[in-house]
Amino acid sequence: MLTTVFRTALLGLTLSIAAGPGAFAQDGDPAEGKKVFRKCQACHTVQDGKHRQGPSLYGVIGRKAGTAEGFKRYSDAMKAYGVVWDESGIDAYLENPKQAIPGNKMIFVGLKKPEDRANVIAYLKQAAE
């Protein structure tokens, strides 16, 4: 009996070490996210300073909304939004851009699947490293 408890505990420990820090369920897969990013590519790049119709998304996590250097076409709504982008903020924006920031200029229906959003956010994170 004791041995079983011990083994189970040991197995749990081994698994959490193998998964590494921060690897919990809602973490996305950057490789899958790269595929999702095809939907964004018409308007965004992940290269520093390279803007298209939309601003470069290089380093967007941790950046204040509406402040990509050199991007001149932000809407007043985005400039006024004033929030520093984190994962949950981008998640909410991508789920329904129009509703999250009324009046913003991103003409995109949104990503309905939570895993698509988690994956593309993981890709954005990785692309900034």
28, 30, 45, 55: residue in contact with ligand HEC (rule CB under 6 A)? 55
Q: Does 126 bind ligand HEC (CB under 6 A)?
A: no
Q: What is the largest distance, in Å, between two alpha-carbon atoms of the chain?
A: 67
Taking contact as CB under 6 A, which single stretch among the options 7-15, 18-26, 66-74 is the one that binds ligand HEC?
66-74
Q: Does 96 bind ligand HEC (CB under 6 A)?
A: no
CA distances from 66 to 57, 106, 122 (A): 11, 12, 21
**Tokens found for residue 18:** 């193998």
Dihedral angle over CA of 30, 59, 85, 116, nearest 10: -20
∠ Cα 33 36 37 (to 5°): 85
42, 50, 69, 114: residue in contact with ligand HEC (rule CB under 6 A)? 42
Taking contact as CB under 6 A, which single stretch among the options 1-9, 17-25, 50-58 is the one that binds ligand HEC?
50-58
DSSP state of 1: -
- Minimum CB distance to ligand HEC smaller for 23 or for 82: 82
Q: Does 107 bind ligand HEC (CB under 6 A)?
A: yes
- Minimum CB distance to ligand HEC smaller for 22 or for 102: 102
